[in-house]
Structure 1
Amino acid sequence: MRKISLAAAGDRLSVLCLGAHSDDIEIGAGGTILSLLAEGVLLDVHWCVLSAGNERATEARHSADAFLSAAASYSVELASFQDSYFPAQSREIKSWLLGLREKIDPDVIFTHSREDAHQDHKEINKLTTNVFRNHLILEYEIPKWDGDFSERNTYMPLSEAALDRKVALLLQHFGSQRSKDWFDAETFRGLARLRGMECRAPGRFAEAFTVRKLMFA
C-alpha cells in the first residue's frame, strides 16, 4: 500500500465538502478535516449542505463552525432541496452545482459514495462526478441500517484524539439525530476501528474513501 500525502504542514489546500444532510460531511470526512488541521495544513473550505431546514440548519451551521474553527478560511452554504426527493430534483441540483463550480476550483472534493443506498446520497455522487470532472474526488461513507458498506481503496489514518473530537462534536451538535438507533459513539468508533485495521493505521483508526481517478504528475 502506497502512502500519498494530500498536503503537508504549511501547505494551502482548497477543499469542497458536499453533504446531502446536515451531519453527512461530519460523519464521512470530519475526522479527516480535523486531522489535516491538526497537522498544520492551511485549509480553505467551502462547506455545503444541500438539505438543511429549520432545526437542522442551525445544527449544520454550528457544527461546521466547530469542525472548521482552525481553518485558514471557510464558508458555509446551506441549500433547501427537499429531503428524500433528490432524484426528482436532479435538474435543479445540477444547476446549483454548476453555479458552485463557477465560484470555486477546489483541490479536493469530499462527497457521497456511488454505492450509498440512500437516494439523496447517490444522486449527489452522480451529479458531483458529472459537474466536477477534472477534480480529485474522495467519496466518503455513511453508516446506516441499509447495510451498504463496500470495499474502499483510500484511507485517512486518524489519531485517537482526532476521532474522540469528531465523535464528541457529532454528539454535541446533532441533537435531532440522537433518537436514531445507529447514531451513537459506538457506531462511529467501531467503523473507524475497522477501517483503521484495514489500512494498519498507526493510531488504530481511519476514515475510508473511494477514489475513482487519480493522476500522478
Structure 2
Amino acid sequence: MQKLELHSPLRVLCLGAHADDIEIGCGGTLLQLAREQPDLSCDWVVFSATPQRAEEARASARRFLRGVRTCRITVLSFEDGFFPYQGAEIKRYFETLKSTRPDLVFTHYHQDRHQDHRLLADLTWNTFRDHFILEYEIPKYDGDLGQPNSYVHLDAADCDAKIETLLSCFASQRSKHWFTADTFQALMRLRGLEAASPTRFAEGFYVRKQALSFRSAGPRAS
C-alpha cells in the first residue's frame, strides 16, 4: 500500500526505459522537487541507450538534478524494443534497486502501449510493494494517453526549462516529428487545464493505490 512521507532527505528513484523518458514524463516535477527539497537524494536509472544516447542521458540528468545533494545516474544497455525477451536479466537488476530504499518512485504508466515501458511498470510494482509510486506518461504515435488521477502544478519557468533541456540535450531525437517544444508544452497545458492549475501547467500521473492516514496530531490549543 502506497504511503508518502516527506521526510528529509527524501529518497527518489526515477526509472526510464529509454534515454529521454524520465525527462518527458516527469521532468517538470523533478525540477520542482530539486528546488523545494534541497536534501533530495535521487537515483536515476535509464535501461536502454546507445553510446550517443547514453551521453545525452547523462548530460540531461545532470541538468535536471543540478543542486541535488546526492544523485546517482546509471545508464544501462538493454536492447531497445526487446525488454520482454530480456525480462529475467532486467528483473535481476530490479532486485538490486531495493537497496536504494526509495520514498517515491517514478516509473512508466502501466497501460503504455510500448512493450519496454509496460515491462518496467510491471517490474516496478513487483519490486516495490510498500512504496509510493507515480506512473508518468509519454506522448507518442500509439495514442495511448489515459486519464491521470494525480497532478503536479508546474511553474511556467520549470516547463520552459524542461523543454529547453530536452531539445538541447537530445540531438539524436530532433529529427523525429513529435520531438518538438509544442508537443511537450501542449500536454503540460492540457494537464494544467484538467488540474485547474493556477499556473496553467501541470504534469499528470497515475496512482494505482494509496493509504491515507487521519491520525490526529494532538489536541488543538483553545
Q: TM-score, normalised by structure 2?
A: 0.91
Question: Residue 211 of structure 1 aligns with which residue?
Answer: 207
Q: Residues 49 and 77 of structure 2 are in contact (CA less than 8 Å); yes or no, is this contact kept in structure 1?
A: yes
| Bigger radius of gyration among the two | 2
Q: Distance in 2 between matches of 1:142 and 1:25?
A: 9
Mapped contact 1:157–1:207 kept (Cα < 8 A): yes
62, 65, 68: which one aligns with 2:65: 68
Write the distance in 2 (CA, Å) between the matches of 1:37 and 1:64.
Answer: 12
Determine the structure 2 residue equivalent to 1:93: 90
The answer to whether the 8 A contact 1:30-1:67 is kept is yes
1:155-166 alignment runs, 5 A limit: 155-166=151-162
Structure 1: 5+ residue stretches without partners:
none
1:131 match: 127
CA RMSD of the aligned region, Å? Answer: 1.5
Distance 1:92 1:106 in 2: 21
Q: Cα deviation per residue 1:45-83 (whole Å; 9 max; x = unaligned)?
A: 000000022100000111111110111210011111110
SS of 2:141 mapped into structure 1: coil
SS in 2 for 1:206: strand
Structure 2, unpaired ranges of 5+:
214-222
- Tell me how far apart the structure 2 counterparts of residues 40 and 78 of structure 1 sit (CA, whole Å): 24
Quote the residue 2:26 is aligned against. 29
* 1:12 alignment partner, SS class: coil
Runs (4+) of structure 1 moved beyond 6 Å? none
Residue pair 1:13, 1:41 contacting (<8 A) in 2 also: no
Matches of 1:85 and 1:166 in 2, distance apart? Answer: 28
Q: Distance in 2 between matches of 1:173 and 1:31?
A: 16
Q: Which residue of 2 aligns with 1:116?
A: 112
Residues 158 and 80 from structure 1, CA distance in 2 versus in 1: closer, same or farther, beyond 3 angstroms?
A: same
Q: Give the TM-score normalised by the residue count of structure 1.
A: 0.93
Report how many aligned residue pairs link the two structures. 211
Please tell me the residue identity of whatever aligns with 1:119: Q
Give the equivalent residue in structure 1 for 2:144: 148
